Structure 1
Amino acid sequence: MVNLLSLSALLVLGCSPRSVLATTTDNGESVLHSEASRANNQSLFWGPYKPNLYFGVRPRLPQGLWTGLMWGKVNDFESIRDCIFRSLAFRYTCEQHEGLAGYGWDEYDIRRGGVETIHDVANQLDLTVSFVKVLAAPTEVKTEGEPTGFDSDVAFSGTSESLGDYKIVVTKGDGDHPTSDHDLVSLRQPDKTTVRSAAIPDEVLWQAKAVVFKHLSNGIAEVQEKYEPEQGPPPFLVYQLANSPGSGNLHIVQKIFEGPFEFDVLFSSDSAGKELTQADLTAQITANSESFHDKFSQIFELKAPFKDDKYQVFAKTMFSNLVGGIGYFNGYHLVDRSYASEYEEDSERFWEETAEARARKQEKLEGPYDWFNTMDDDGWIAREQILGPEPRSKVPEDFQPLESAHLEFPELGETYLRSIYPQLRLHYDWFRKTQRGDVKSYDREAFSTKEAYRWRGRSETHCLTSGLDDYPRPQPPHPGELHVDLMSWVGFMTKSLMNIADALGMAEDVEEYKKISHAIERNLNDLHWSEKDGCFCDATIDDFEEHTLVCHKGYISLFPFLVGLMKADDAKLGKILDLIGDEEHLFSPYGLRSLSVKDEFYGTAENYWRSPIWININYLAIVQLHDLALQDGPFKAKVTELYRKLRKNVVDTVYNSWVETDGQQNSNRAEVRPG
C-alpha cells in the first residue's frame, strides 16, 4: 500500500494601502495582460524582490502589492503541531531548516523571469516555480509539486495609486486531493480552494506567517470543541482554513493536494494590452528558458578546464542566484549619532550588480545608483542597508544600529558616471576625512603626512567596520594605529575616481587623484611594509611611543596586491607571491586561507577570518594574478603558474560544495531543456 503525501500550499497576498477584494470566476481560461507601451525599465519593475522568502514577488515601490509562497505537509498532527508551535517544516521565510536540501534559481533573466527549484526533504516535496514576465509586466507564477472554497479560479481585484486597477487570478490548477468520509467534509472540503481575507496594520503585513498560524490555531480549537480525540477528523481537514473571502490588505489562499500538483498565479492590469492564453504562457516559459541559455552562452564563454556541460549548469545556477537574489526594501536605518562630534572634526552587495552589468553592459543597472542615493548630506553610507522591520528581523540586535562615524569597505559602481560622480566624490572626501590616521603626532617617517588611515569602530577583539571582523589586529587598541587594508581601499577608490574623471574629461580632478595615488603608494611602503616579514602589516605605537609594525600573515598582508596597487616590476611583488604560494602559510587545495597556519591566532576564538577560505578575497587575488600574468615582468612565470593553480582550486571548491548540497539535483535536472 502506498501512502500519498497531503500538502497544504498557501499563497499570501499583501497590499498597502488596503485595496483588494477576493471573488470567484468561472471563465475556464485565465486572463493575463501585457504592458508593451511602458518604458524599457518597466521590465525591472516587478521581480522576486523579497529574497528573504523562498519565493516572493513585489514591485519596486515602497507600498503596493506583494505575494509570497508558503507550504507544509498536513499528513499528521505532529508535523503541523511542530509547524505552529515551533515553526518547523512550514516553509515561508528563508531559514537554515533541517530537512531542506536546497533551493535557488536554476535560470534567471532579470528582465524576463526564470525557474526556481526547492528540494524540501522533510516535507517530501520538490517544488518548481516558474516566474514569467511578458513585455515588461509580471505575468505568471507556475507552481508544480511532486509527492515527497472555490471550485474554480479565484480572482482578486485591487487598486492603488501606483499600480492602478489590477486583478490577480489563482487558477484551480491540476492535482488530486485527499478524501475523507468524516462529517466535517460538509464544512471543510480539501478539493476546494479556500481564501481567508483580513485587514491588519500595514506595518505588520510582513509577518504573514504568524497570521496564518493564528487562523490555523483557531480552526484547531473549533475542531477540539466539537469532537472527542477518538472521533476527530484527519489532519488535512483540521488544518484547512475557513473560507472567508472579502476585502482587506492580507489574503491567504490555501490549496490542499495529494500527489503531484500544478497551479498558476496570474497578474493583469487594466492598462494592459492583448490577453494571452495559457498556451501562450506555456510557450513563453519555454521561450524564456531558451533565451536564457542562448544569451548566457554568448556572453559568458567558459574557459578551460571548465568547459564541460556540468560547469555550464553550475555557472548558470551561480549567475541566476546572484541576480535573482536582488531585493527591494524601504524604511529607516537605526543610526547611532553619538560619534557626531568626532565626525564633525575630522560602513554581501555589488558583487551581484557587477555580474549583471557584465551581462547587460548596454543597459543601465540601477543598483549602484540606488546604493549611493542612500548617502546622507555629509557623504556617509550605512555599511548595511537594513531598511525597515522585515530585514531587521534577520539581523542580530547588536548589529542593527549603524554608527555614522564608522564605514564599511567601499564597493564602487561604474554606472551613471556623470550623474553619480558628485556623490562618489562626496563619499570619497567623507571617507578620507573621517578615517584619517595620525602621522604627525608620532613623528612617523613617511612620504606624506596626510595619507594614513585608521578604521573607526575598533574594539579589542573586532574591527567590524573593516569587514574582516576578528582578523588579528595590534593589541591593545591604540589611537595611533594605522590599517593597511584601509589605506589600500582608499588607494583603490582614488584610482577608480581618477579613471572616471578621466573618462569625463575632468583634467583638474585627474591631476589631484594622481598626486593622492602616488602619495598612498609611497606611504604603503613607508608605513606598512615589513622587509623582515616580506609582507604588508598594520602599524601601531609601541611602549616607547614609536611606530612599529604588527604582522599577522594573511589577507591583510596582501591588500595592496589584492586591490591592484602593485606593479609587475615591483621587487616586493616577489615576496607577496611567495606568501601566496606557500602551503605552510596561505595556499591550500581549496584556496587561500584567511590567516597563516603558523599564526598564533590561527583557528582560534570565533574563527571567522582566522583560517576560513573566503571566496570574495580569493576572487580578488585571481583577478590580480590574471592581470599581472598579461604584463611583462620578472615574476611573469610565477604569476602565471599561481593564477592557474589558484583559479582551479577555487572553482573546484565552489563547484564541489555546490554538488554536495543542491548541485547534483540541479545538474541532473538542468541538462534537459524545455522545448
Structure 2
Amino acid sequence: MSKNELRHRPKTKQRGALTSNGPDSSNWPYAHGRMDPYAKVIGISVLVITSALIGIFRYQQYLRDIVITPLDSPRIILDNSSSPDVNPEKFWGTYRPHTYFGMKSRHKTSPVFGLMWMIQLTNRMPPPLRHWCNQGDGLEGYIWQMHDGVSFGIQEIREKLYTVKTEFVKQAGGSHGGDWSARISFVPKDPSTPVVLSSFFYAALDGDNGKLEPVLVNNRLRSVRGSHEGLGDFELLLPKVESSGQKESYLVTYANQLDQLEDISIAGMGVEAWDSARTLPYFSLAGRRVPKDVPGPNYIVKQVTTTLPFTMEVVFQSASFADRQNQLSGNVFSSLLEQRKKEFNDRFEETFRLNEKEYSEREINFAKAALSNMLGGIGYFYGSSLVQSSYNREPVSYWEAPLYTAVPSRPFFPRGFLWDEGFHNLLISAWDQEISKDIIGHWMDLMNTEGWIPREQILGPEARKKVPSEFVVQRNTNANPPTFFLPLQRLIKNMIKSNKQEDKVYLTALYPRLKTWFNYYNTSQNGKLPFTYRWHGRDPTVTKQLNPLTLASGLDDYPRASHPTDEERHVDLRCWIAFAAGVMADIARTLGQDWQEYEATHKLLSDNKLLDKLHWSPKGQQLEKPKPPPNPKHPHNSFNMDMDKIRVVLSEPTLQFVNALGYVSLFPFLLRIVDVESPKLNYILRDITDPNKLWTDYGLRSISRSSKFYGRYNTEHDPPYWRGPIWINMNYLCLSALRHYSLLPGPYQDKAKSVYEDLRKNVVQNIIKEYERTGYIWENYHDKTGEGKGSHPFTGWSALVVLIMAEKY
C-alpha cells in the first residue's frame, strides 16, 4: 500500500449500527439471543482500533522499506543490456580487478577463471600463494601496460626474482560473447639463479549455477568442460606446457562461495618429493576431492610446477562459435595481439596527442599504463548492499543488482565508490564514451525512491570479504559528492554534436533519475539558513577524534566545525549543487524539458555576493591524555594510563568560520563559480602559489602549511589524510579551473596562465618520477618530498594525470 493511499483513503461510516425500536423488550437481544447493542459498540471500537493499528504498522513498515525501494522510473540498463545478444563485445572481460589476473562474463552468476602461483622449495611451509592483489605481497610493481577496456590487455607483474606477464585477447563469434585466450609467461630476472614455481589456473562456478567436468588424459588435466545458463556449453583448454622437469597435478572439488577459492586450494595440497632423492618437498594438488553431498564439482584447478622460464596458454571456447577458423592460440594469438596493440597505440595518440605535446616515449608509455590500469580495473559485480535508515533498527538488504564500474585501487579498494567513479569517468569517457555511459547507467539504476545511492558498493562475497564489518553498512542520511555531473557535462556536449538517436534515448532515460538525484541533495543536505548546505552523518558524540569525520564529503578528516550541528555551512557541498544545477539545465535544454528552474538555482548558488556573505572569511582544541581522577587509596591502579587520547575542549565553542585554508576553501574556484573579475580570484591565486600555504614542487597540498591542522593526527593512531598530502583529483580540478580562467579575458588572466603551467609541470613530473622509482601510481603524495603514499597501485583518480598531460579538462 502506498503512502498516498494511507493518507488519502476516504473514511467510511460503519454500517449495521444500533437501531433501537424503543423500550419494547422483544427488541432486546436478551429475549431472542441477538447481539447486545453495547457489545456491537465494543466490537466496532475493537475493529476501528485494530484497523488503526494495522494502518500504523503498515505505515511504519512503509517507512522502513523506503530505503530499499527502487525509484519508480524506467531503468537505464535493461535486464538484457549486458547479455551477449545485445552487447557481445563487452560480455567477457577482466572484470575481477581484485585478482592479479581473472576473467568473467557480465552475467550475474558467471563462472570465473583465474591465475594463482607460488614459489616452491622455500623455507616457508606452505609458501605464500599469489591470487588476490595484496599490498602485503611486496611486489615491485604490477600494472596493465595496455588495455582497451574491451578486447585485449597486457599486464606486467614484477616479483623480486622474476616477472609474470599476462596477456589476453578476445575473438568475436557465436552467441555467447565468443572466445578468449590468455598467455602467461614467467621469466627469471637472473637466469643463473634457478627458480622453481607452480602456476595454477582454475575454473569455478558461482555455487551450483552450471556444471563443470574435468577431461583427463593419462591422469593429466587437459581441459575443463562446462555449461551455464548464460554461456551455454563451453570448454577451457589447458594445453601441455613445454618446459624442462615439469610436474603436473590438479584439484577437482567444490566451493560454497567464490571467496573461498584460495583457502580451498591450499587445503587441497599435499607434500610430494621434487627430486629423486626425496630430499626436496614441494606442494602439489591432491586430485579429486568432491564431497558426497553436493551435485558435482564446481571448482577445477590445474597446477604446473617447473623451473623458470616457462609460458602457458589457456583457451576458452564457446560451443556456440560454430564457424571458428582457427583456435586462438600460438601464432594466431600472437598475430591478433599485435593487431590489437597497433590499434591501441594509434587510438591513444589520436585521443590524447601526447606526441604532439613532445612527451618522450618513456612518458607516453607511462600514460598508456595509467589509462590501461584504469580500464583493466573495471569490474562487474552482482549482489546487494547492506543499508540502514533511521526507521530501521537493524541493517537491511538493498535489492540485488549488477554494477559495472571502475575501482579506485585493485588491492585496497576493489569495489565501486560513488564519488570516485565520477572522477574515473572523466578519463574513461575521453577514451570510450560507450563504456562511460554504461557505467553511469549502472550506477543511476541503484537509486532508491528517495534519490539516494549507497556511496560504497560492496556487492557479492568476494567484495564483502575485503571490507571490515564496521564499514559495510551504508546509511541513507549520508550523501557523497555528485561527481558524475563532471563527465556528464562533457558527454552531453558530445551527444549534442553527434545528434544520434541512441544518445537521445539514453538521456531521456537518464534525466528522470538525475532529477530525483539532484532533488535528494537539494533537500536532504540543506542547511539551517536559506541557500546553505551541510554534509550529514557527522557524529557529535565522538571523543577520540580531534574533529568528527565528514566521510560523506569524501574529504574524510579535512577539518570542519569542531562540534557538528545543523548550523554548519559547507561551501564544497554548496558548490557541488551549484555545478550540478548548471549541468541539469543543459540536459533539460537538450531534451526540450523545463530548464529555467535549474538555471535559476545555478545562478542563485553561483551569485558571488551571496557566496561571500555566507562563506567568505577575511580570522582551541588538542588531543591529550585525560588526567587521572584523584584516588589517594589506589594512586597507581585506579586509572589506565594506556587508554587512547580523547578530545579536550579548551574553550566554549562559538559559531565562526573554520580557520583551515585548503581544498574545501578552493571549491568556488575549483568549480569555476568565482567571477573572472572578482578580487577574490586574486586572493585565491595568491594563496595557491604561497609555499607556506598550498604550493609545493609536486602539486597543491590539501591544507595550508600554516594551519594548526596541518599534519595533525585526527585520532591518536590515524595519520593525516586530507591534512597535507597532495591529491590528484583536487589538483586536476584546480588545473581545470586555472585553464578556464587563463582563457577568459580579465585582470588575472596572465597570472592564472602562469600558475597553470607551473602546477601542471610539477604534478606530471612528480607522478612519473615516483612511478619509475617505486613501480606504482599512488593514492596521494607527500607534500614535502613528493613520495607516493597510501594504497598502491591507485589508478583511480590518480590516473587523471593522463588528462592533465593531454590538457583535456
In the alignment, is residue 359 of structure 1 matched against residue 409 of structure 2?
A: no
Larger radius of gyration: 2
Match of 2:689 in 1: 581
Query: Residues of 1 paired with 2:136 and 2:428: CA distance?
Result: 29
| Aligned-partner residue type, residue 313 of structure 1 | N
Query: Residues of 2 paired with 1:174 and 1:637: CA distance?
Result: 64
Query: Residues of 2 paired with 1:156 and 1:93: CA distance?
Result: 23
Match of 2:43 in 1: none
**Which residue of 447, 451, 458 corresponds with 1:386?**
458
Deviation by residue 1:500-552 (Cα, 9 ceiling, x = unmatched): 1122222x2x21012111221234222101236xxxxxxxxxx9998632231
Do the aligned partners of residues 654 and 211 (structure 1) sit closer, same or farther apart at CA in structure 2, a change above 3 Å counting? same
**Which residue of 161, 164, 167 corresponds with 1:130?**
167
Query: Residues of 2 paired with 1:142 and 1:303: CA distance?
Result: 31
Match of 1:79 in 2: 124
Match of 2:337 in 1: 285
Query: Residues of 1 paired with 2:162 and 2:85: CA distance?
Result: 39
Check the 8 A contact 2:143/2:155 in 1, yes or no: yes
In the alignment, is residue 142 of structure 1 matched against residue 255 of structure 2?
A: no
- 1:150 to partner: Cα distance: 5.4
Check the 8 A contact 1:195/1:252 in 2, yes or no: yes
Do the aligned partners of residues 262 and 153 (structure 1) sit closer, same or farther apart at CA in structure 2, a change above 3 Å counting? farther
Match of 1:442 in 2: none
Match of 1:187 in 2: none
In the alignment, is residue 105 of structure 1 matched against residue 136 of structure 2?
A: no
Match of 1:313 in 2: 365
Check the 8 A contact 1:487/1:524 in 2, yes or no: no
Deviation by residue 1:412-450 (Cα, 9 ceiling, x = unmatched): 1536322111111111101111111001xxxxxxxxx2x
Listed as ranges, the matches of 1:182-261 within 5 Å are 190=247, 192=248, 194-201=249-256, 204-216=257-269, 219-220=270-271, 233-236=279-282, 239-244=283-288, 247-261=296-310
In the alignment, is residue 295 of structure 1 matched against residue 347 of structure 2?
A: yes
Query: Residues of 1 paired with 2:652 and 2:234: CA distance?
Result: 73
- 1:570 to partner: Cα distance: 2.2
**Which residue of 88, 92, 103 corresponds with 1:57?**
103
Check the 8 A contact 2:221/2:250 in 1, yes or no: no
Deviation by residue 1:335-385 (Cα, 9 ceiling, x = unmatched): 1223679xxxxx732333332221234776300110111111221101111
**Which residue of 761, 766, 774 corresponds with 1:653?**
766
Check the 8 A contact 1:105/1:116 in 2, yes or no: yes
Match of 2:657 in 1: 549
> Partner of 1:57: helix, strand, or coil?
strand
Query: Residues of 2 paired with 1:616 and 1:302: CA distance?
Result: 20
Query: Residues of 1 paired with 2:314 and 2:551: CA distance?
Result: 43
Match of 1:14 in 2: none
In the alignment, is residue 476 of structure 1 matched against residue 560 of structure 2?
A: no
Query: Residues of 1 paired with 2:568 and 2:84: CA distance?
Result: 55
Match of 1:173 in 2: 241
Check the 8 A contact 1:47/1:138 in 2, yes or no: no
Deviation by residue 1:83-135 (Cα, 9 ceiling, x = unmatched): 3xxxxx421011113531011100001121110110011xx221111111112
- With normalisation by structure 1, the TM-score equals 0.80
In the alignment, is residue 163 of structure 1 matched against residue 231 of structure 2?
A: yes
- 1:235 to partner: Cα distance: 2.2
Match of 1:562 in 2: 670
In the alignment, is residue 458 of structure 1 matched against residue 545 of structure 2?
A: no
Do the aligned partners of residues 587 and 364 (structure 1) sit closer, same or farther apart at CA in structure 2, a change above 3 Å counting? closer
Check the 8 A contact 1:323/1:353 in 2, yes or no: no
In the alignment, is residue 276 of structure 1 matched against residue 366 of structure 2?
A: no
Check the 8 A contact 1:339/1:404 in 2, yes or no: no
Deviation by residue 1:600-630 (Cα, 9 ceiling, x = unmatched): 1110112000000001100110111111111
Deviation by residue 1:372-401 (Cα, 9 ceiling, x = unmatched): 111112211011111122112222322211
Match of 1:186 in 2: none
Of all paired residues, the percent bearing the same amino acid is: 32
Query: Residues of 2 paired with 1:362 and 1:329: CA distance?
Result: 19
Check the 8 A contact 2:386/2:474 in 1, yes or no: yes
Query: Residues of 2 paired with 1:322 and 1:63: CA distance?
Result: 24
Query: Residues of 2 paired with 1:551 and 1:419: CA distance?
Result: 44
Do the aligned partners of residues 303 and 550 (structure 1) sit closer, same or farther apart at CA in structure 2, a change above 3 Å counting? farther
For structure 1, the residue ranges without an aligned partner over 5 or more in a row are 1-36, 84-88, 179-189, 342-346, 440-448, 533-542, 667-675
Match of 1:445 in 2: none
- 1:468 to partner: Cα distance: 0.6
Considering only aligned residues, what root-mean-square deviation do their CA atoms show, in Å? 2.7
Check the 8 A contact 2:258/2:462 in 1, yes or no: no
Do the aligned partners of residues 325 and 101 (structure 1) sit closer, same or farther apart at CA in structure 2, a change above 3 Å counting? same
Check the 8 A contact 1:144/1:262 in 2, yes or no: yes
Counting matched residue pairs gives 569
- With normalisation by structure 2, the TM-score equals 0.67
